[in-house]
Amino acid sequence: MGLRKCLWREQKGIRRRREVGALTSRGASSISKLLRRLPTYDANVGAGRMLNLGDRSEYILLAEDNSADVELVREALADRAITHKLHVVDDGERAMDFIQRIDRDSTLHCPKLFLLDLHLPKRDGEEVLRCLRASERCRQTPVVVLTSSDSPSDRETATRNAALHYFRKPSTLEQYMQLGDVVKNIIALDARARTEFAS
């Protein structure tokens, strides 16, 4: 079993134990209902079925092909009470199609933040970044690069394409949850900048 899947299962188990412990007094039926509500990875999210892009609520775009990492990202956002919807695409080609679709349709809106794994199937992260920065409507979208690599070339790719943060996927659950702090800070800075610009 891979490290990411182990971390994901560990976090899922912790959360279930917390929730179940809090609801024990309500009986077994309440506990079973709770467990059925816990999120699981949907293999169809890459096809764009998870999110209505015409919905004006803010969302985060995640390009990630590893299902365990997807769940860890979900947990990191939830752990820091980040309520933005999460839309997931599972390869670089779908990520580029997603951006181009927004450019073609003015009723759709850009993500608040783009979390991008550099090592994606079909099209790599650098191609996706170049596509994003060439976008008419979404070129200003802030990017956090997610990768297991610490190679200088990957860092250079992130810097060259104006990624705001380079997050190396860690080996411990506690460190992975720090991604939530990174996201929260970027969203707060963006909101502050918009407020100052409007005034």
CATH of the domain at 187: 3.40.50.2300
Q: How far apart are CA 21 and CA 173, in angstroms?
A: 21
Assess whether pLDDT exceeds 90 at residue 22: no
Residues 87 and 32 in one domain: no
- The β-bridge partners of 114 are 61, 143
pLDDT at 47: 35
pLDDT at 23: 33
Residues 87 and 22 in one domain: no
pLDDT at 2: 58
Give mean pLDDT, residues 94-100: 97
Residues 24 and 103 in one domain: no
Question: How many other CB atoms sit within 10 Å of the CB of residue 51?
Answer: 16
- The pair of structure tokens assigned to 54 is 């015409």
Give mean pLDDT, residues 99-119: 94
Give mean pLDDT, residues 154-181: 90
Residues 157 and 95 in one domain: yes
Q: How confident is the model at residue 50 (pLDDT cuts 50, 70, 90)?
A: very low
> 0.85 exceeded by the pTM?
no
The residue type at 45: V
- Higher confidence at residue 49 or residue 89? 89
Assess whether pLDDT exceeds 60 at residue 16: no
Q: How confident is the model at residue 21 (pLDDT cuts 50, 70, 90)?
A: very low
- C-beta separation of 168 from 147 below 8 A: yes
- Higher confidence at residue 127 or residue 36? 127
Residues 6+ apart with CB under 8 A from 44: 50
Assess whether pLDDT exceeds 70 at residue 92: yes
- The pair of structure tokens assigned to 59 is 């969302």
- The pair of structure tokens assigned to 181 is 């702090």
Q: Which structural domain range is residue 11 located in?
A: 1-38
The end-to-end CA distance of the chain, in Å, is 53
Residues 187 and 103 in one domain: yes
pLDDT at 30: 36
Query: What's the half-sphere exposure (Cβ side, CA atoms, 13 Å) at 123?
Result: 19
Q: How many domains does the chain have?
A: 2
pLDDT at 56: 53
Residues 57 and 1 in one domain: no
Residues 23 and 96 in one domain: no
Residues 82 and 158 in one domain: yes
